[in-house]
Amino acid sequence: MMSLEFEVPVKRLNNVMGVILREDSKLQWVYYREDTQSVVVRTTVSKNALQTFLLRLASAVDVPVEVTIVDERETGRAIHEAFLLRVDVSEGSYPVVILLLYNVSKFYPDTIIVGTSSDAPQELVDTVLKLTIGKVNLLETEKVRSSIVDGGLFIQLRANVPSTSDKEIVLV
């Protein structure tokens, strides 16, 4: 199981709870932040259901959300992140998930999964693949595969993790 934590406006809580109840997910806790009129939610989801869960969550919240994902492993803990957003193109507005997996480096993702509706136009995919998320320019990634799962189109990308041997390190 993977632990997910994210913050959404309190008016979106019912939508979020609907996704949690319908999906293979377990609610751990909800924290209300009066100062921002938002709630911080922690839930768990199976590794197999992560991508579709995030896409359904992006559809339900309808606002940009950053999700922190903790993957507990026998060898330790991996921290991943996802960005949920809506992208407008000429044919409409579509939910998009950009999942950054940090399996090799703690500071640079090695695997990126872009998810959206399976009926999304090519214009949307092209627009999303031109984005830069933090240090990662999606145009500079290599497409590994794409698949349609439960009504979602998921494109797996491989990022070239910069190695420290490529850079000169100077200690002062």
Determine if the pTM surpasses 0.85: yes
50-61 and 13-22 helices, crossing angle to 10°:
150
| C-beta contacts of 154-159 below 8 A and 24+ residues apart | 154/51, 154/113, 154/114, 154/115, 155/113, 155/114, 155/115, 155/125, 155/129, 156/111, 156/112, 156/113, 157/111, 157/112, 157/113, 157/114, 158/110, 158/111, 158/112, 159/108, 159/109, 159/110, 159/111, 159/112
Strand partners, 80: 69
The whole-angstrom separation of Cα 132 and Cα 36 is: 28
- Hey, what domains does the chain have and what are their CATH numbers? 2-160 (3.30.70.120)
Mean pLDDT, the chain, whole residue set: 90
Q: What is the pLDDT of residues 139-149, one digit of tens each?
A: 899 999 999 99
d(CA 124, CA 43): 29
With bands split at pLDDT 50, 70 and 90, how would you rate the model's confidence at 170? very low
Per-residue pLDDT tens digits for 55-97? 999 999 989 999 999 998 888 889 999 999 999 999 999 999 9
For residues 154 and 96, what is the distance between their CA atoms, to the nearest angstrom?
10
